[in-house]
């Protein structure tokens, strides 16, 4: 992904986008380059939106291509009862920022959790963000 320069002073309006897994869990995309560690929030780039900040801050400047490599496992259900949370590992620009993290609930404006699979969605948030080389691979995880 690549976020473009914005003149907006409000951080969440600069390059705001995201990757929605199952339309439930958002991995935030934002122009967060140069944000000090003490000011970084769970709404900055690489965060599980409003749920968890990344373990490391590795955002690049606007205009530079960045990468997310995700390994995601959906929540597990018996009937309509959730028995295990969704889990995610994320590398941002080749650096592990989330390591097999349990996702306790949906994030932000995500859809309610449920047993049915849902698609991946690249969020449009009225910001100029470009994407390229999007790959989706299904992994065999067993029971």
Is the model more confident about 88 or about 3?
A: 88
Alpha-carbon torsion (48, 52, 56, 61), positive or negative: positive
What's the farthest any 2 CA atoms get from each other in the chain? 49
* pLDDT for res 10: 66
Q: Residue 52: which of 1, 98, 16, 100 has the closest Cα? A: 98
3-state helix, strand, coil in the chain (%, to 5): 5, 35, 60
Confidence of residue 140 (pLDDT cuts 50, 70, 90): confident
Q: Give tens-digit pLDDT for 112-135.
A: 999 999 999 998 767 788 999 999
Averaged pLDDT, 11-33: 90
Instruction: Give the pLDDT score at 104.
Output: 96
What pLDDT does residue 50 have?
Answer: 95
Print burial letters for 67-94: b (CB count within 10 Å at least 16), e (below 16).
ebeeebbbbeeeeeebeebbbbebbbbe
State how far the alpha carbon of 143 is from the alpha carbons of 22, 38, 73, 84, 103, in Å: 20, 40, 12, 12, 19
Q: Compute the mean pLDDT over every residue in the chain, rounded to the nearest whole number.
A: 92
Cα(91)–Cα(17) distance, rounded to whole angstroms?
17
Greater confidence, 140 or 50?
A: 50
Query: Is pTM beyond 0.95 here?
Result: no
Contact 15, 62 (CB under 8 A): yes
């Amino acid at each position: 992904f690549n976020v473009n320069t914005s003149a907006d002073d409000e951080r969440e309006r600069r390059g705001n986008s995201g990757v929605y897994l199952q339309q439930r869990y958002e991995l935030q995309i934002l122009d967060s380059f140069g944000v000090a560690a003490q000011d970084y929030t769970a709404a900055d780039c690489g965060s599980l939106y409003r749920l968890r900040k990344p373990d490391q801050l590795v955002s690049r400047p606007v205009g530079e291509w960045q990468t997310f490599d995700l390994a995601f496992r959906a929540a597990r259900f018996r009937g309509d009862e959730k028995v295990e949370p969704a889990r995610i590992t994320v590398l941002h620009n080749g650096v592990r920022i989330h390591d097999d993290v349990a996702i306790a609930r949906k994030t932000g404006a995500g859809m309610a959790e449920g047993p049915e699979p849902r698609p991946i969605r690249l969020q449009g948030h009225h910001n100029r963000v470009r994407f390229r080389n999007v790959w989706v691979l299904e992994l065999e995880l067993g029971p």
